[in-house]
């Protein structure tokens, strides 16, 4: 397997893009990544597009080929991949694999979703496509329900409090204020969070990521071929995809997602790095409590300490480990298929030293993208090439 580097990134703002067709958003982000990379279109040998619910939400599929055509790419394999909220991370892993295995010299990754045009009930129904509806459908649980249960269990076992979880929200909403791509940055007080409309006890509105449109893109290339390109290449040290249970009952312990634990373990082994090497992480905070759990599952924070660390500021920019300096899903937004690719966009800018909320001296960054009930997970480890 060849070494692979990221040589270009692009992204639309996350938020409302009413009236813009989904493929146009994807084309916009991808065109930016192509220009950023300096890679000639004729050299791109594969396109992977991560998308979750364009079928039910837009009546549009075959997006991979559609986007490639509008970008003027040659006759190359163009594939949409889907793994619920991990679709973007899965797309990246396949582009990495195509280049690492020598199938092509460069590959383009695009993640995209449009959601804000639909009514809430339709969006909720579409998002529930990520559940095992035969088995869990009759329970009536939706994703806020699942994460509400997880919070209850975490609070009971580890003493995680409302104010600790609010610290996650305050941090990420604050980080989002510094990120021009973020949908909902804000300066919030504990009271504003606790008093925001209840969604699914104990989750309030500000504990939940918003509904978003957006697209992000990444260009990967074989390291040995990336020499003459304009920008700084970022090393891909590990790209891992794992599977957990699609059933809620398949998770007897809701304080952990086994797919995250497994992906992190494999990524550390693949890269030779340890959690201590990681300077920042963009992780899957679809709900505030998810960040607490993810940070522990990834080995970045001791088990049970996710809430404590957030409250003590140890996960802020400038703290021990910067978690979601972009604002995360909570503030940046969560256009589902775009999220995993958007995380890579953010980490690449951090490692280039060009992020608007820069982590000083960042050398190693991680992304973590989790799908459904933890049925799919990807973890990526990136390093500044001169580091």
Residues 9 and 33 sit within 8 Å (Cβ to Cβ): yes
Contact by Cβ (8 Å): 298, 275: yes
For a copy of itself, give the closer residue by CB, 268 or 309. 268
Binding mask 51-90 for a copy of itself (x = CB under 8 A): -xx-xx--xxxx-xxx-xx---x-xxxxxxxxxx-----x
Q: Is the CB of residue 340 less than 8 Å from the CB of residue 91?
A: yes
Q: Which of residues 355-384 bind a copy of itself (CB under 8 A)?
A: 371-372, 375-376
For residue 292, the 8-state DSSP code is H
Rounded Cα distance, 88 and 341, in Å = 5
How is residue 15 annotated by DSSP? B
CB of 197 to a copy of itself, least distance (A): 27
Give the rounded distance of the alpha carbon of 379 from its chain centre. Answer: 9
Q: How far is the CB of 167 from a copy of itself (least distance, A)?
A: 31
Spacing of C-alpha 89 from chain mean position? 7
Beta-ladder partners of 266 = none
Among the listed residues 334, 349, 355, 368, the single catalytic one is: 334
Q: 243-282: which residues touch a copy of itself (CB under 8 A)? A: 243-247, 250, 258-259, 262
Q: Which is nearer to a copy of itself, 265 or 363 (CB)?
A: 265
Task: Report the residue number, 165 or 246, with the smaller CB distance to a copy of itself.
Answer: 246
Closest CB to a copy of itself among residues 87, 324:
87
Round to whole Å and give the CA distance between 162 and 314. Answer: 17
- CB-wise, 245 or 320, nearer to a copy of itself? 245
Kindly write out the interface string for residues 185-224 of this chain, putting x where it contacts a copy of itself by CB under 8 A and - elsewhere: ----------------------------------------
**Which is closer to a copy of itself, CB of 241 or CB of 367?**
241
The token pair that represents 275 in the structure block: 């959690």
| Number of residues forming the site for a copy of itself (CB under 8 A) | 60
Q: Burial level of 167, CB count in 10 A (0-12/13-18/19+)?
A: buried
What one-character DSSP code corresponds to residue 93? Answer: H
Q: Are 168 and 292 in contact (CB under 8 A)?
A: yes
| 141 scored as a contact of a copy of itself (CB under 8 A) | no
Give the DSSP per-residue string, 249-279: GG-S-TT--HHHHHHHHHHHHHHT--GGG--
- Is 85 part of the annotated catalytic residue set? yes
**97 belongs to the binding site for a copy of itself (CB under 8 A):** yes
Task: By CB under 8 A, tell whether 302 contacts a copy of itself.
Answer: no
121 makes contact with a copy of itself (CB under 8 A): no
Q: Is 284 among the catalytic positions?
A: no
Mapped onto helix, strand or coil, the DSSP state of residue 214 is strand
Contact residues for a copy of itself (CB under 8 A)?
1, 21, 23, 52-53, 55-56, 59-62, 64-66, 68-69, 73, 75-84, 90, 93-94, 97-98, 100-103, 125-126, 128-134, 241-247, 250, 258-259, 262, 371-372, 375-376
Q: Please give the positions annotated as active site.
A: 85, 334
């Amino acid at each position: 397997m060849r070494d692979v580097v990221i040589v270009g990134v692009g992204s639309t703002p996350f938020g409302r893009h009413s009236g813009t067709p989904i493929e146009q958003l994807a084309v916009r982000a991808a065109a930016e990544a192509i220009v950023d990379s300096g890679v000639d279109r004729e050299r791109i040998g594969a396109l992977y597009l991560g998308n979750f619910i364009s079928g039910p939400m837009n009546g549009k599929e075959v997006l991979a080929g559609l986007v490639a055509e509008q970008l003027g790419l040659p006759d190359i394999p163009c594939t949409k991949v889907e793994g619920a909220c991990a679709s973007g991370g899965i797309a990246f892993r396949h582009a990495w694999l195509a280049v690492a295995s020598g199938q092509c010299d460069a590959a383009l990754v695009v993640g995209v979703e449009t959601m804000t045009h639909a009514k809430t009930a339709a969006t909720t129904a579409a998002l529930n496509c990520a559940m095992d509806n035969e088995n869990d459908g009759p329970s009536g649980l939706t994703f806020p329900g699942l994460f509400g249960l997880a919070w209850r269990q975490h609070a009971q076992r580890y003493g995680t409090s409302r104010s600790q979880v609010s610290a996650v929200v305050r941090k990420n909403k604050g980080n989002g204020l510094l990120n021009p791509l973020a949908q909902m940055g804000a300066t919030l007080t504990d009271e504003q969070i606790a008093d925001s409309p209840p969604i699914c006890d104990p989750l309030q509105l500000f504990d939940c990521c918003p509904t978003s449109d957006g697209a992000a893109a990444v260009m990967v290339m074989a390291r040995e071929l990336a020499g003459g390109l304009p920008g700084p290449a970022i090393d891909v040290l590990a790209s891992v995809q794992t599977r957990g249970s699609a059933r809620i009952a398949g998770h007897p312990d809701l304080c952990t997602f086994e797919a995250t634990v497994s992906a992190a373990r494999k990524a550390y082994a693949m890269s030779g790095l340890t959690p201590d090497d990681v300077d920042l992480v963009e992780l899957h905070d679809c709900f505030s409590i998810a960040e607490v759990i993810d940070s522990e599952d990834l080995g970045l924070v001791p088990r049970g300490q996710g809430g404590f660390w957030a409250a003590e500021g140890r996960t802020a920019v400038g703290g021990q480990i910067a978690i979601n300096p972009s604002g995360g899903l909570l503030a940046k937004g969560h256009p589902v298929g775009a999220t995993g690719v958007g995380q890579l966009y953010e980490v690449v800018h951090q490692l280039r030293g060009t992020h608007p909320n820069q982590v000083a001296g960042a050398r190693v960054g991680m992304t973590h993208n989790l799908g459904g009930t933890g049925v799919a997970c990807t973890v990526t480890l990136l390093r500044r090439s001169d580091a």
